[in-house]
Structure formats: structure tokens, C-alpha cells
Amino acid sequence: MHRKLVAANWKMHGSNALTATLLGTLAAQPPACEVAVFPPFPYLAQAVHLARGAVGIGAQDLSAHAQGAYTGEVSGAMLHEIGARWVLVGHSERRQYHHENDALIAAKLQRAMECGLTPVLCVGETLDERERGITESVIATQMQAPLHLLGERFAGVVMAYEPVWAIGTGRTASAVQAQAVHAFMRSQLAAHDAKLSRLIRLLYGGSVKAANAPELFAQPDIDGGLVGGASLLAEEFLAICAAAH
């Protein structure tokens, strides 16, 4: 059984004051589970300083390039240098609004690992895809390029299943729906390499709250959560972490 991990994706929310409040609370009351917090870029250094090692800090994206003339991009080496140890890769909002495809996402994963960052690879289907009954083939396709490119190194990746229809909508996948997709993801990993399916932590994300976290985290193939909106509320987030034991 894996140690549970709860990740906080602040998206494009926050301020110096909110960073101080949320990281101050987490550093003062460190949860029993592992926690990784993903603030926007400008607050990363402050978050690393305030976390005092009690929780991990990560970025919401990184460049696929090592360095160079890529205006607006942030490299994995820069993130590592300022103390970030995690990075989200392939969040559905990056896929949707920044047109990130599976090949680019695989390249970002590879770059993250070269730079000593643990990537959280996000996958998930849209409502239309779920209604058309193609959830499993969508997830399998999203996993294919990263698995192929990284091979055994994929063991260093954390995955998050985030049904797009459940992100920020208040509509959570039921524990049964989430467990079914997580079990499918594990079977895909096992088909690639039996070791991978045992090693990799699979998080669920999509309107996780203190009220639904216990049932979701009790599922056999759910190793924690990726939390958006509710991670901006200190008490709510601590309650979600408390459900991850």
C-alpha cells in the first residue's frame, strides 16, 4: 500500500498574503499524509521558504526545453534551483487552453525527471467522451506516449485521473466511477510493466472536498487526491488531508 499523497493545485489564484496563510497553516499543522502544493510561479520561492520542508512545493507547468530563446517559459532546472521538487504536467486546462498534445506532454515529463522534479501526469476524459463510452481508450491514448518515451523511468511519475467534466464543476465522479478508471489505469501500467502498476501512485482529481474525500480515498486504487478549488481554503484542505491515511 502506498503512502497517500494530497496535491493542491492553486491554478491562477493567490497572492503573497494567501501563500503566507496557506503555507503557514500547513507548516504549523503538517498533515500525516504527504502533501505537495502547486502555487503560481511568482509565489514558488516564497512557498518553498514558508513550507520549511513540511510539504513539497511544485510548479503547475514547465518548459519542454532545457534553456534558450523561449520567451515566457520556465525551465525545470530553474524550478529545481529555487527548491521546487514537483511539477504538474498535462493538466486538462493546459491541454485545452494551450493546445498541449501527448507528445509535448511526454517531452515535458522527460524534462522534469532529468531536472530532479517529480511530475504529476494528469489524464482524463471530457463529458462528451464519457457519454460516447470511450473513456478507457482516451485514457489509454494519453498514457501511451509518456509510457513509450520514459520506459522504466515512468516509475518516477505520479499520475492523476481528472475527468474534465468534474474539474471545477462541483460534479465529482462517484467513488465507483473513479475506482473503475483507476483500476483500468493500473491494468494499462501492468500491461506495460508489472512493476509499474505496483509502484505508481494514482491520484483522483475533480471537485474533491472534505465531504467526498473519505469515500474516494478509501478505494483500493486511489492513492490520494489532486485538489483545485478546495485547496485554497486552509481548513477544508486540512480536512481533505486528514481523510488521506
User: Does 215 qualify as catalytic in the annotation?
Assistant: no
Q: In the 8-state DSSP scheme, what is residue 31?
A: -
Is the CB of 146 or the CB of 205 nearer to ligand PEP? 205
Stretch that binds ligand PEP, among 16-24, 109-117, 134-142, 222-230 (CB under 6 A): 222-230
Query: Which residue of 4, 5, 8, 11 would you call a contact of ligand PEP, by CB under 6 A?
Result: 11
94 contacts ligand PEP (rule: CB under 6 A): no
Does position 228 interact with ligand PEP (CB under 6 A)? The reply is yes
Site string for ligand PEP, 162-191 (x = CB under 6 A): x----xx-----------------------
**Residue in 56, 90, 205, 224 binding ligand PEP, rule: CB under 6 A:** 205
- Of 100, 125, 129, 162, the catalytic one is 162
Q: Which is nearer to ligand PEP, 13 or 195 (CB)?
A: 13
Binding mask 146-165 for ligand PEP (x = CB under 6 A): ----------------x---
Q: Cβ neighbours of residue 39 under 8 Å, at least 6 residues apart?
A: 10, 14, 19, 47, 57
Q: Is 77 helix (H, G, I), strand (E, B) or coil?
A: helix
Nearer to ligand PEP by C-beta: 75 or 207?
207
CB atoms within 10 A of CB 94: 18
Say whether 178 sits in a helix, a strand or coil.
Answer: helix
Q: Does 39 bind ligand PEP (CB under 6 A)?
A: no
Please report, in angstroms and rounded to a whole number, the separation of the first and last CA atoms in the chain: 11
User: Distance (Å, rounded) from C-alpha 242 to C-alpha 129?
Assistant: 33
Exposure letters 3-21 (e unless 16+ CB within 10 A, then b): ebbbbbbbbeebeeeebee
Distance in angstroms (rounded) separating the CA atoms of residues 245 and 241: 8
What is the sign of the dihedral through the CA atoms of 144, 150, 152 and 153? negative
Instruction: Check residue 227 for interaction with ligand PEP (CB under 6 A).
Output: yes
CB of 88 to ligand PEP, least distance (A): 8
Distance CA 223, CA 231 (A): 17
49 counts as catalytic: no
Interacting stretch for ligand PEP, rule CB under 6 A, among 40-48, 78-86, 182-190, 205-213?
205-213
Residues of the shown chain interacting with ligand PEP in the complex, contacts defined by CB under 6 A? 9, 11, 162, 167-168, 205-208, 226-230
Which active-site residues does the annotation give?
Answer: 91, 162
